[in-house]
């Protein structure tokens, strides 16, 4: 009985050793992943990977939607800019019966890019749309997107090819350097655009006219005085 127990223990120890070796080998192996556009929502001061697809999400007024193109593995690669609704939609007035959604689109880094393509700047666009609009419709309202087999493969022409391609031995940085959004013009707003400031040009116009009038008067007066002097000298 004792010999049997020893045999069982030896077998279990060997199995444990094999499993441990396999775990070590797995952790040492480079991570495999995909190159794709990830979909996120800004919640409680941070980005959260969307639990539903953009076709199934209807953002409320004041929401912030995010998209990030990146090489990703087990850990989501979120947009590198914060989801600041005020920064994106603060100058766009609310409209009755419509929803304002701040849309953040981050094309990622050159290391994330498809070979031969260069990512643009991360942008923020305030989308004013119907209260029933989905995340997919909000994205499409801001610019052209490329959809293949139900997947968002390209946004505003980037990338021009590929869709959720698997990539071997990727190197995912522990953190991404934050970026500042390029704020674009609002989309779908019926409110008139803010009038351009004309204080500089208009305020100077009356004074310019007055100065010109004074100069003309001085010249005419000087000319008249010169003529009178000549007439007096001739007499």
- 206 vs 199, 200, 225, CA distance in Å? 12, 12, 29
pLDDT higher than threshold 60 for residue 183: yes
pLDDT higher than threshold 60 for residue 27: no
Point out which residues pair with 124 in neighbouring strands. 104, 183
Whether 83 and 125 have beta carbons less than 8 Å apart is answered as: no
Count of beta carbons in the 10 Å neighbourhood of residue 158: 18
pTM of the predicted model as reported, rounded to 2 decimal places: 0.70
Which pLDDT band holds residue 14 (cuts at 50, 70, 90)?
very low
Least confident of 3-12, 126-135, 162-171, 207-216: 3-12
Count of beta carbons in the 10 Å neighbourhood of residue 179: 14
Point out which residues pair with 111 in neighbouring strands. none
In which element (H, E) is residue 3 found? Answer: helix 2-28
CA pair distance 181, 216, nearest whole angstrom: 53
Residue 82's closest CA among 104, 100, 63, 101? 104
Q: What is the pLDDT of residue 202?
A: 41
> Which DSSP letter does residue 113 get?
S
> Which DSSP letter does residue 7 get?
H
């Amino acid at each position: 009985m004792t010999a049997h127990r020893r045999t069982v223990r030896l077998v279990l120890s060997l199995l444990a050793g094999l499993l441990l070796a396999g775990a070590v080998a797995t952790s040492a192996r480079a991570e495999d992943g995909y190159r794709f556009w990830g979909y996120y929502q800004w919640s409680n001061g941070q980005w959260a990977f969307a639990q539903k697809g953009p076709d199934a999400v209807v953002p409320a007024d004041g929401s912030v939607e995010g998209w990030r193109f990146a090489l990703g593995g087990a850990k989501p690669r979120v947009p590198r800019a914060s989801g600041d609704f005020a920064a994106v939609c603060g100058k766009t007035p609310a409209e009755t019966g419509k929803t304002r959604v701040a849309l953040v689109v981050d094309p990622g880094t050159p290391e994330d890019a498809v070979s031969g393509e260069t990512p643009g700047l991360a942008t923020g666009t305030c989308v004013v749309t119907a209260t029933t609009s989905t995340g997919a419709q909000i994205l499409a309202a801001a610019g052209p997107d490329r959809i293949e087999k139900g997947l968002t493969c390209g946004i505003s022409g980037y990338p021009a090819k590929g869709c959720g391609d698997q990539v071997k031995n990727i190197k995912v940085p522990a953190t991404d350097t934050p970026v500042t959004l390029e704020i674009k013009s609002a989309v779908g707003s019926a409110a008139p655009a803010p009038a351009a400031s004309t204080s500089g040009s208009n305020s100077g116009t009356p004074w310019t006219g007055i100065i010109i009038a004074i100069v003309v008067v001085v010249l005419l007066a000087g000319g008249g005085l010169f003529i009178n002097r000549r007439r007096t000298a001739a007499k």
